[in-house]
């Protein structure tokens, strides 16, 4: 039971990290915005503070998940487990962006309007 909780936490961290990394890209951000009823606008600049914050947040969550896997299962199996969870998380986020992008809207919070356009 204890191992399942750690793996679930690492999986959640990986999925959130991949989602924030995806939303820091203009195409995916517009996909989620259009599903929310907003009209597409010219994309944010790659150096906008909000997108940098989302990239940093995503990378930090992925690193935290890696640390959790390494701490729980050691270097060899932990890194393998993290890579498998990372692949599953990337697939889950890609499918969510394809078939139900509105479900990722909560990750945008109120900062959607503050993206430098």
Domain that holds residue 88: 2-114
Query: For residue 47, is pLDDT > 90?
Result: no
HSE on the CB side for 35, CA within 13 Å?
A: 17
Yes or no: say if 54 and 20 are a contact pair by the CB < 8 Å rule. yes
pLDDT over 70, % of the chain: 80
If one counts the domains in the chain, the total is 1
Q: How many helices (H) and strands (E) does the chain have?
A: 4, 0
26-40 pLDDT, tens per residue? 888 888 876 555 555
Choice between 108 and 15, residue whose per-residue pLDDT is larger: 15
User: CA-CA distance, 52 to 117, in Å (whole number)?
Assistant: 14
pLDDT number for residue 116: 44
User: CA-CA distance, 39 to 111, in Å (whole number)?
Assistant: 16
Number of neighbouring beta carbons within 10 Å of residue 114: 11
User: CA-CA distance, 34 to 69, in Å (whole number)?
Assistant: 36
End-to-end CA distance of the chain: 47
Q: What is the DSSP letter of 42?
A: S
Yes or no: say if 14 and 65 are a contact pair by the CB < 8 Å rule. yes
The model's pTM: 0.82
pLDDT number for residue 7: 92
């Amino acid at each position: 039971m204890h191992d399942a909780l750690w793996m679930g936490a690492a999986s959640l961290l990986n999925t959130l990290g991949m989602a924030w990394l995806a939303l820091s890209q203009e195409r995916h951000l517009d996909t989620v915005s259009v599903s929310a009823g907003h009209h597409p606008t010219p994309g944010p600049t790659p150096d906008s503070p909000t997108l940098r914050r989302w990239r940093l947040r995503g990378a930090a969550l992925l690193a935290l998940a890696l640390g959790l896997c390494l701490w729980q299962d050691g270097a060899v199996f932990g890194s393998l487990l993290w890579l498998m969870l990372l692949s599953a998380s990337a697939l889950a986020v890609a499918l969510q962006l394809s078939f139900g992008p509105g479900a990722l809207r909560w990750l945008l919070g109120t900062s959607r309007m503050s993206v430098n356009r």
